[in-house]
A and B are shown apart, each in its own frame.
Chain A
Amino acid sequence: MFGAFRPTFVAQSGLLWKNPFRMSATRKANVRKRLKAVDDVIATVSASGVKCKALDEAMQLPRESEMIARDKYSVFSRYSKGHRKSLHKVPKFTKKTIRTSPPGF
């Protein structure tokens, strides 16, 4: 059970990264904080009076306050059970725009 040859995951296979299934309340709060920061950037560019295609597209995105929890913290996944997986399973999710789901999902 104990000692140098205990049958832990690390001892059996080496490197082990644990990746929780759900995000904690703090991680979800940080997600909301980042979404609001992006909303601020879009609002600032919009307030400057500049018009461009990128701004039109950005204005189409739902704001943090308009998003439902399902869209904030989970994303569509083709292979996951229920076609949803937690947002933090997406590589570089903190630096991507993931706000909407495909229609019907």
Chain B
Amino acid sequence: MSATQFFKISLKRSTIGLAPDYRAAARTLGLHRSHQTVYRPADSTTAGLILKLKELVKVENVASIPTSVEINAARKAARGYQVVEKQGAFTKI
């Protein structure tokens, strides 16, 4: 396994109706709404907050924080076709 540098944390269950300390822990992690994903450095502070919210979150160990370009590229569906040749490629308008 590659070295864990960051935790990828997603809030899967809402903090609505929970005690203020749970809501504060989610807020401290930067989780403001359901299904939001944040990246936090893998340290004991973050681990403690995750384990406080262990019923509510989904966690992955990642080596780096992906950029928005990488996230969008991973989300993008395959085109389903391949451009072989473009018609009128040499025509100047």
Contacts and interface: CB of A to CB of B under 8 A. Distances in A.
B76 to A, nearest CB: 27
Given A48-B7, A95-B13, A55 B47 contact: yes
B54 interface: yes
Task: Please classify the interface of chain B as helix (H, G, I), strand (E, B), loop, or mixed, using the class held by over half of its residues.
Answer: mixed
Task: Please classify the interface of chain A as helix (H, G, I), strand (E, B), loop, or mixed, using the class held by over half of its residues.
Answer: helix
Interface string A46-70: 0111111111011000000000000
B36 interface: no
B43 A50 contact: yes
B60 A44 contact: yes
Interface in B51-73: 51-52, 54-61
Q: Among B46, B47, B60, which residue has the most Cβ atoms of chain A within 10 A? A: B47
A48 B7 CA distance: 8
Interface residues of B, number: 23
Contacts of B18: 92, 95
Interface string B27-61: 00000000000000011101110111011111111
A95 B55 contact: yes
B12 to A, nearest CB: 8
State the 10 A-B residue pairs at the shortest beta-carbon distance, nearest first: A52-B44, A48-B4, A54-B51, A54-B48, A50-B47, A41-B54, A44-B59, A95-B55, A48-B42, A48-B61
